Amino acid sequence: MGKFENDAREMLRLVGGKENIAALTHCVTRMRFTLVDPSIADVPAIEALPSAKGSFTQAGQFQVIIGNEVADFYDEFVAISGITGVSTEEAKKLAAKQGNPLQRAMGAIAEVFAPLIPAIITGGLILGFRNVLGDMPYFGPEHNATLASMSVFWSGVNHFLWLIGEAVFHLGIPVGICWSVTRKMGGTEMLGIVMGLTLVSSQLLNAYAVAGATEEIWAEYSWDFGFAQIHMVGYQAQVIPAILAAITFNYLERFFKKIIPTIVQMIFVPFFSILLAVMAAHFVLGPIGWALGSAVSSVVNAGITGNFRVIFGAIFGFLYAPLVITGLHHMTNAIDLQLIADYGGTMLWPMIALSNIAQGSAVLAMCVLQRKDENAEQVNIPASLSCYLGVTEPAIFGVNLKFMFPFVCGMIGSACAGLLSCLFSCTANAIGVGGLPGILAMQPQSMLPYALCMAVAVAVPFILTFIVGKKQGVDKAAEAEGIKQEAAAAAAEAKAEAAASLPAHVSAVNQAGVLSAPMTGVAVDMKSVPDPVFSSLAMGRGVAIEPSEDAVYSPVTGTVTMLAETGHAIGITSEDGIEVLIHIGIDTVELKGGPFTPRCAAGEGVKAGDLLMVADLDAIEKAGKPTTTMVIVTNTDDYSSVDATLGACKAGEAVLKATK
């Protein structure tokens, strides 16, 4: 059984079953459902699942926050639900129909960049390490040397790491965008990769050398067609040219598939599509895209570095968390990458990382306020940690938006930190590394002032959230909930202890071939059990009991031969050779032992009437599982008959007779 099988099965039920799911996909942290009837989904119950960190509806999709393990959850959900015919693209198309044009555009941007995020994070960490090794002159006797300049080893490491950094940010971004756009549009993904490679080929003049190119350089880097000369420009780290090129290629491929006969499509569709797309990219779209990207980065850079940069920083810091809710935050990836390409760094990403920290600090205050509420802490602590590492959705949707004031306090703290970040001109060399590790991406001269900004992003939201939470009585509510949880735990323990005492009515018969009832309840025919494994008698003859009490006693005197790890099943061999299986509930193996408290161990000798197990029948029922308990003679073939006494029974009373 998989880690998320129980939650996945329950989520399928709570969203309205397979028939209510029109399409299904997932992103980096969220399950994304397109539901036939969204009103059917039981949102509070879904959010109460252990794996769920919160939920919301955006762009026509019902989204459930799972966290970094969403891919594993998705795989188990698909396996359980049997939804195999729904593609990611179908989910996106169906959801897109429910959104407005702005939502669809932002959704498209998110879908293009989401698959690139792991590579961007990796590249950001690599460049962060290179900052420490090659750009921080704080080492040596005079504290004015870098690690790379002092050590051949660290110099070699610094040089080696650029292999990965260059692959991600200089070469990988255009190639990855072309692939991702092609994947989204349903084109031939390999040709999308080829399209991207033609933008960053070593035959072209590197994008970073274009600004200083002379006539002599252009004479070497030009295509001469006689009647015209075209500059051979590379588009390393460029975003908009890659997007335009990929879209053009995909529309060309669709066009040629429509007009070229199927029998020769394999030959001519790829040839004409890629040839014309590459020509369009280098002759027309590339220069246009470069100009558009430069214009956008110029406007943003003017806002960040101009006379009103402090106001810009405060506004951006305040509004970034709400952008996460709408999905509009994905557009900042393209702007950040363009700023790095044009200016050698970005002042936008530092504020994004600070917003992550601010929202995490608001949750940290909630951790303190709700420390006596065990259920709240199970959500608060992981949400805060993930926020500090750059993933904000669990914190925003799972904690802060539920109370709202922590969300606003986080926005205020982010605004203060963003103001300081712009005031100090904090600049990052790379993006992708958010939260506290974001300082690794800062340029060396920005690290110290950025550390101050981080301190503000931690302190302000924490203090504000704690003060407001105190005034609103969050800590008192958590204390009351904690007392309630402690009382429930004490009651459960008392219930188990009470069950440990053998009831007076137990007669514990000990006759050859006689099995007593292990539980008090009603004995029914095994053939009526709603599980073919038992009702078919494939495992042997016996009796089923609909129990009314939690205690499970030994039906025979003998030896415990098996105790399931999950506690739901016990095997006993009696002194006279009867092999007995007690199976508590149906499909209770899926409960992973939660409702079961064993009072025996494999290999232990027991007498008829000894307490074997305390089974929490209420917990089993709340989990949606039948409590029907089977008592089976698994070596039935050794007996001429196994007869059951049906009707009301008490633990210890004869209920089965096995005759040789």
Angle at 364 between CA 362 and CA 369, to 5 degrees: 95
Residue 192 has pLDDT above 90, yes or no: yes
pLDDT at 351: 92
pLDDT at 278: 95
Using a pLDDT cut of 90, give the percent of the chain over it.
28
Handedness of CA 173, 175, 179, 182 (dihedral sign): positive
242 token code pair: 């890659």
Nearest to 242 by CA among 163, 341, 324, 101: 341
State mean pLDDT over 608-620: 89
Q: CB neighbours of 458 closer than 8 A, spacing ≥ 6?
A: 357, 358, 361
State mean pLDDT over 220-236: 89
Task: End-to-end CA distance of the chain: give it in Å, rounded.
Answer: 39
Please name the helix (run of DSSP H) or strand (run of DSSP E) that holds residue 541, with its range, or none: strand 541-547
172 token code pair: 């990988």
pLDDT at 429: 84
Q: CB neighbours of 294 closer than 8 A, spacing ≥ 6?
A: 338, 342
Q: What's the distance, CA 61 to chain centroid?
A: 16
- For residue 543, give the amino acid letter: V
Q: Read off the pLDDT band of 505 (50, 70, 90).
A: very low
Q: What's the distance, CA 558 to chain centroid?
A: 49
State mean pLDDT over 320-346: 76
Nearest to 559 by CA among 499, 614, 601: 601
Residue 508 has pLDDT above 50, yes or no: no
Distance between CA atoms of residues 642 and 659, nearest Å: 6
Please name the helix (run of DSSP H) or strand (run of DSSP E) that holds residue 632, with its range, or none: strand 629-633
Q: CB neighbours of 595 closer than 8 A, spacing ≥ 6?
A: 567, 588, 615, 616, 617, 619, 620, 623
228 token code pair: 């015209």
State mean pLDDT over 55-67: 76
- Whether 80 and 12 have beta carbons less than 8 Å apart is answered as yes
The DSSP letter of residue 525 is: -
Residue 502 has pLDDT above 50, yes or no: no
In terms of Cβ atoms closer than 10 Å to its own Cβ (0-12, 13-18, 19+), residue 202 is exposed
pLDDT in tens, 526-561: 888 888 778 888 788 999 999 988 889 999 999 999
pLDDT in tens, 241-253: 898 999 999 999 9
25 token code pair: 């996909």
The DSSP letter of residue 502 is: P
Residue 354 has pLDDT above 90, yes or no: yes
- For residue 471, give the amino acid letter: K
pLDDT at 68: 67
Nearest to 413 by CA among 466, 334, 488: 466
pLDDT at 85: 43
What mean pLDDT is reported for the chain? 84
Neighbouring CB atoms inside 10 A of 48's CB total 12
Which runs of consecutive H residues, i.e. helices, occur in 306-399? 309-326, 331-343, 348-369, 374-388, 393-395
pLDDT at 170: 79
pLDDT in tens, 93-138: 555 555 555 555 555 666 677 677 778 777 777 877 787 788 777 7
- Whether 40 and 108 have beta carbons less than 8 Å apart is answered as no
pTM of this prediction?
Answer: 0.54
Residue 499 has pLDDT above 60, yes or no: no
State mean pLDDT over 145-159: 90
State mean pLDDT over 140-151: 83
Neighbouring CB atoms inside 10 A of 495's CB total 16
Encode 254-284: b = buried (16+ Cβ within 10 Å), e = exposed.
eebeeeeeeeeeeeebbebbbebbbebbbee
State mean pLDDT over 379-396: 80
Taking phi over 0 as left and psi of -120 to 50 as alpha, with beta for the rest, 592 belongs to left
Give whole-number Cα distances, 345 to 169, 226, 427, in Å. 12, 40, 6
Residue 339 has pLDDT above 50, yes or no: yes
- For residue 476, give the amino acid letter: K
pLDDT at 560: 93
Least confident of 94-98, 384-388, 545-549, 625-629: 94-98
Q: Would residue 27 show up in a list of annotated catalytic residues for this protein?
A: yes
Neighbouring CB atoms inside 10 A of 415's CB total 24
Ramachandran angles phi, psi of 515, nearest 5°: -115, 130
